Amino acid sequence: MRAQTKAIRGMNGVILCLLGISIGALTVASAWPQRRKLDEKELELAQILEQERKVIAEKEDHQAALDAMRDDQEYLELHAVDRLNLYRPGTTVYRIERQR
């Protein structure tokens, strides 16, 4: 009788271990796709934040140029000569074109 009890206890221990391992494996298996989706979303977020940083930097550059045009008359005149091909009569303008 004692031998049967020890055998049953041993089997119960093995079954309990297998049950624990099975539950752990199911937990990991169900979390795996979620982890993959989380990694994809983190990558997407990083790309969007990089795009946002570039847009903000470009906006700041444009704002600085706008402020310079409003506040600095010399900058505005240089910009008009360079971009709009406007110049004051009697002024000699030398233009160097870059090869593309």
Provide the CB-side half-sphere exposure for 47 (13 A, CA).
Answer: 6
82 in helix, strand or coil?
helix
DSSP tally for the chain: helices H, then strands E: 2, 0
End-to-end CA distance of the chain: 97
Token digits for 25?
């494996």
Least reliable range by pLDDT among 23-32, 42-51, 53-62? 23-32
Judge whether 61 and 54 are in contact, CB under 8 Å.
no
Judge whether 87 and 81 are in contact, CB under 8 Å.
yes
Task: Considering only residues 59 and 10, tell me which one the structure prediction assigns the higher pLDDT.
Answer: 59
Domain ranges of the chain: 1-84
pLDDT tens, residue by residue, 53-96: 999 999 999 999 889 888 988 888 888 787 887 778 888 877 77
Average pLDDT of the chain is 87
Q: Which of 73, 66, 94 is nearest to 82 (CA)?
A: 94
What pLDDT score does 5 carry?
A: 80
Task: Considering only residues 40 and 4, tell me which one the structure prediction assigns the higher pLDDT.
Answer: 40
